Chains A and B, each alone.
Chain A
Amino acid sequence: MNKLDEPTVAEQNVNFRQIGKPRTRTDAPGKVFGKTPYAGDYVMPDMLHARVLRAKVPSARMTRLDVSKARALPGVASVLTFRDLKIGTVATDIPGQTGFKRRATDQQILVDELVRYQGEPIAIVAAETVEIAQHALSLIEVDLEPVPGVYNVFDAQKPDSPKVFGTDNLVASYKVRKGDVEVGFAAADVIVENTFTTQYIEHAFLEPEVGLGWEDEQGVINIRSSTQAVETFRYIADAMGLPHSKVRIRGALVGGGFGGKCDVTVELYIALLTKATGRPVRLGFTREDSFYGHGKRHPFIITHKTGFTRDGKITASKIDITSESGPYAFMSPYVLMYATEAGPGPYLVDHVHIDSRSIATNNMYTSAFRGFGATQACIAYEQQMDEAAKVLGIDRIELRRRNLLKTGDAIATGFKVQSAVWTEECMDRAMAALGEKPKDKGPIKYGHGLAAYQQGYGRMIWLHDTAEGWVGVEMDGTVLVRSGMTDIGAGQTSSLAQIAGELLGIDMMDITVYNSDSSTTPLAGTSSASRGLYMSGNAVRLAAEAVRDRLAARAAQHFGSTADDVDFANAQVFLKSDPRKTMPFKELVATCASEGIHRAELAIFRAPFGDWIDPETGQGQVHPDYTYGAHAVQVAVDTETGEVTILKSIGAHDIGQAVNMAAVEGQIEGGVAQGHGYALSEELIYKDGCLVTPSLSEYLCPTSMDSPRIESIVLESRSGLGPFGAKGIGEPGHTPAAPAVANAVADAIGTRVFDFPLTPEKIARAVRTARKAG
């Protein structure tokens, strides 16, 4: 049988009624009719408006701060500086983790002496109108005396460099030692060494950070904000010296996140001003605030030295990784961990040696971004594979094929992957969909590129990740779901409705989901780390199953059958063995209610728990499981202008099991477009710490003009740890897209640009240089 004809759905006798189909999402109608309230759409009586004063320079000592004129301005309710803060610092670690004492990541809330990045907040103002608040900012007198800063990771590592973080600017470092890399290199016929760099990029969610806070009758500070993480309520409470039970974060449907709304953004300023004024406070970032006000994606420098036998088997992989953290830790240590673990890619390598470090500078701080370091790792290892194929004279796909990991193989950290590894099927399908490469036309050269990947989903296992979920049935037979999971646009709430609906036989559109409230919905953790469906979906599945079991037992009594024989569909309960025996779901529920049978369940789902990997060898388990797949791209490059047109872009991923096929494709397509921008046009440019591109006309996200139709090929091995065998797809769709573009461009022009993004200028220069070299 031809490889491509092989089944791409695991052969299991599964018959879903709602799961796996491309369904209209439950959140779609509200969005297309303009009825969905976002966090910024709420107002309250007597509400104040807040603004943030930011430092204009990246490295300075504050010698004077006088807010008296601002305070005296009519209409100003409050001006807060570091002098008004009880505590002064806030944690920036991953929120919501349970199994791990948090890292010492505390950061100043408002500048008290040193400014460490451009845009660092100095004062916050609440006033009757935005205009008055803005005017008040201009009345604040600040003297900032420049102090020498450090603006690249090379200088930052020199002994005499200015110190931004600790005594050595080292934010985190890791090692991986598997086998003996010297033995591996000794066995190599060919050694290939290259360095790849990536740039700062911006999430550019369409909805800038926004929130509204108020104090309620119990003295609880409520904040409704646009967030990926309601669990940050703990850090906000800690920073204000309040008990955790006195801060509540309620989300709303979020206008995009991509990792950029995992950290505390507007919430703490709102809480402080609400407490100070006793009045509701709204703070909406402008787009410019958003550029200056949240952490960016880490630039990386990654060097690969890889040994190969003549026939293309990898014998050793030595990888050196440096990321730039900016002046504060935020999630940099974890992002570095992901990049380190993912270092060698989806390949079986016996001898691995990785050194990695994250370095502080006075450029903007960096934190979570879709892919979380594994993306930068992929950009390096997949370009390295193409470069090696060129040196070895082996077909690029074939070279990968000879080295791919299989189920049961040990990755770099020694962990043996348990789920299906269908990288090869994904590569073949994506390449087949790409078809023939067109013939070059004068200066227009065509190229094909592919990238395969491995991306962990779920939290690192030493964070002891859990999620809770609640499912209940009302007296009239309608179903409610409660989950703290935030919905950042991927369809998180809709998927929970679909899961509960599948199990209870109720159409997803008829299910109401309450989500994203740190006080009244069971906490499910953040929507990040491709864990949303995996964690909250499993919790809701467990809860729905428990309710279903109790209802089924009562139905069995009614039918005189066994509970196993009872099934639920179309709001009916019936016997599998005799579908004529049926009763309305509603009736069964009424019976259960009158007999006091519990119609609700709060369930907890626990991901695998473990310890940190060994700090000396990097051996151990990092993630619960991994998603695998590949992305293929066809480009046309104008070798005179350096302009790249993406003609085809095809992602093939084994996602275990789709819950909503349309939502899965949407995750892939959106992630891919971000990958296109990452490879070709997006770059936050900092000149000595100052941002040169603080608007959407200078920072270039792909528009429709840049975006071809993206094709998704979805394979279902049903081998994942998520509900019904699902794997995570929020990040994986994004990860291989950018390196696939880079490989396609290199294929077209016959030479490579090693530093991202591949702008027309760099491409044209590379073409000229290659021509000169002949």
Chain B
Amino acid sequence: MTNRKTLKMTVNDTVRNVEVATNETLLETLRRVGAVEVKCGCEKGDCGACAVLLDGMAVDSCLTLTHTVGTRAITTIKGLGTAEAPHPLQTAFAELGAAQCGYCTPGMIIATQSMLTHDTATPDENDIRHGLSGNLCRCTGYTKIYDAVLEGAKAMRETEAAK
């Protein structure tokens, strides 16, 4: 049998104790505890649908063993914003038609957030292409995703400037 461990996990600012097998992936754990907004497209790191933030940095949760997360804060799409307090990227993705089937959307927005905070807050289309190259979308042809990222990034800069 595999070893099990009890961990303290912080998911979207809520701390919980979770018992996990040492070979369990973060994707499996998150979905098991109800964070089904984290999607599974391949379980091999090929699609990006399972991306979450660990202390603000996007990772493929299917390639991350849960017990290695440590004290890092886990953020899923639900932790980024809500209907009442939307994140500018969520607003832009909805308004500009960047979510079609929507299955890639949580991972896509998470990857965008990571790119905007770690790589560049003022991306051009080429930066976006590089930054999102690990996230497959089969529905949109990426065009409206480029639009939404440009628009969302602008709104984020404006919010930042207003502070």
Partners in one complex: yes
Footprint of B on A, CB under 8 Å?
22, 24-25, 27-38, 40-41, 203-208, 253-256, 258, 284, 286-287, 488-491, 662-663, 665-666, 669-674, 695-697, 701-705, 707, 709-710
CB of B137 within 8 Å of the partner chain: yes
Contacting residues, chain A, for B133 (C-beta < 8 A) = 703-705
Q: Is the CB of A707 within 8 A of B42?
A: no
- Given A28-B99, A666-B140, A666-B144, residue A709 in contact with residue B125 (CB < 8 A): yes
A-B interface, 8 closest residue pairs, ranked by CB to CB distance from nearest: A489-B101, A34-B37, A31-B102, A255-B103, A673-B141, A669-B141, A34-B77, A696-B46
Q: Mark B64-104, 1 if CB is under 8 A from A, else 0.
A: 00000000000011100111001000110111110111111
Contacting residues, chain B, for A36 (C-beta < 8 A) = 102
Q: Is the CB of B44 within 8 A of A206?
A: no
Q: Is the CB of B100 within 8 A of A704?
A: no
Contacting residues, chain B, for A253 (C-beta < 8 A) = 101-102
Contacting residues, chain B, for A38 (C-beta < 8 A) = 36, 39, 103
Closest chain B residue to A675, Cβ basis = B141
Contacting residues, chain B, for A287 (C-beta < 8 A) = 41-44, 46-47
CB of B138 within 8 Å of the partner chain: yes
Of residues 42 through 60 on chain B, the ones whose CB sits less than 8 Å from some CB of chain A are: 42-44, 46-47, 49
Closest chain B residue to A705, Cβ basis = B133
Choose among B82, B135, B141 the residue that contacts A672 (Cβ–Cβ < 8 A).
B141
- Could you give 27 example pairs across A and B, Cβ below 8 Å? A28-B99, A31-B105, A32-B91, A32-B93, A33-B78, A33-B82, A34-B106, A40-B36, A41-B36, A206-B39, A206-B138, A258-B138, A284-B40, A489-B101, A489-B102, A666-B97, A666-B140, A670-B139, A673-B140, A704-B128, A704-B133, A704-B146, A707-B142, A707-B143, A709-B125, A709-B146, A710-B141
Q: Which residue, B36, B44, B100, B128, has most C-beta atoms of chain A within 10 A?
A: B100
Closest chain A residue to B94, Cβ basis = A28
CB of B109 within 8 Å of the partner chain: yes
Q: B1: shortest Cβ distance to chain A, in Å?
A: 11
CB of B130 within 8 Å of the partner chain: yes
Choose among B43, B128, B135, B140 the residue that contacts A286 (Cβ–Cβ < 8 A).
B43
Q: A69: shortest Cβ distance to chain B, in Å?
A: 19
Closest chain A residue to B145, Cβ basis = A704
Q: B11: shortest Cβ distance to chain A, in Å?
A: 12
Q: A287: shortest Cβ distance to chain B, in Å?
A: 4
Q: Is the CB of A256 within 8 A of B139?
A: yes
CB of B157 within 8 Å of the partner chain: no
* A111–B36 CA distance with the chains assembled, in angstroms: 34
- Given A41-B36, A704-B129, A704-B135, residue A24 in contact with residue B143 (CB < 8 A): no
Q: Which residue, A35, A254, A258, A666, has most C-beta atoms of chain B within 10 A?
A: A666
Contacting residues, chain B, for A670 (C-beta < 8 A) = 100, 138-141
Q: Is the CB of A206 within 8 A of B104?
A: yes
Choose among B37, B102, B129 the residue that contacts A27 (Cβ–Cβ < 8 A).
B102
Q: Mark B91-127, 1 if CB is under 8 A from A, else 0.
A: 1011111011111111001000000000000000100
Contacting residues, chain A, for B140 (C-beta < 8 A) = 666, 669-670, 673
Q: A210: shortest Cβ distance to chain B, in Å?
A: 9
Choose among B49, B91, B96 the residue that contacts A206 (Cβ–Cβ < 8 A).
B49
Choose among A34, A41, A489 the residue that contacts B100 (Cβ–Cβ < 8 A).
A489
CB of B7 within 8 Å of the partner chain: no
Given A287-B46, A674-B138, A705-B130, 14 other A-B residues pairs in contact with their CB atoms under 8 A = A24-B97, A28-B95, A29-B94, A31-B105, A32-B105, A33-B86, A256-B101, A287-B47, A665-B97, A671-B141, A673-B138, A703-B133, A707-B143, A710-B141
Contacting residues, chain B, for A35 (C-beta < 8 A) = 37, 78, 83
* A208–B43 CA distance with the chains assembled, in angstroms: 11
* A360–B77 CA distance with the chains assembled, in angstroms: 46
Q: Is the CB of A206 within 8 A of B136?
A: yes
* A41–B139 CA distance with the chains assembled, in angstroms: 20
- Given A255-B103, A488-B101, residue A24 in contact with residue B94 (CB < 8 A): yes
* A663–B125 CA distance with the chains assembled, in angstroms: 22
CB of B132 within 8 Å of the partner chain: yes
* A702–B141 CA distance with the chains assembled, in angstroms: 8
Q: Which residue, A673, A702, A703, A704, has most C-beta atoms of chain B within 10 A?
A: A704
Q: Which residue, B41, B86, B91, B139, has most C-beta atoms of chain A within 10 A?
A: B139
Choose among B39, B94, B144 the residue that contacts A32 (Cβ–Cβ < 8 A).
B94
* A491–B83 CA distance with the chains assembled, in angstroms: 20
Q: Is the CB of B78 within 8 A of A709?
A: no
Contacting residues, chain B, for A695 (C-beta < 8 A) = 42, 44, 46
Q: Is the CB of B36 within 8 A of A707?
A: no
Contacting residues, chain B, for A491 (C-beta < 8 A) = 100
Closest chain B residue to A664, Cβ basis = B97
- Given A670-B139, A673-B141, residue A207 in contact with residue B103 (CB < 8 A): yes
Q: Which residue, A204, A674, A709, has most C-beta atoms of chain B within 10 A?
A: A709
* A284–B44 CA distance with the chains assembled, in angstroms: 16
Closest chain A residue to B2, Cβ basis = A131
Closest chain B residue to A41, Cβ basis = B36
* A22–B98 CA distance with the chains assembled, in angstroms: 12
Closest chain B residue to A42, Cβ basis = B36
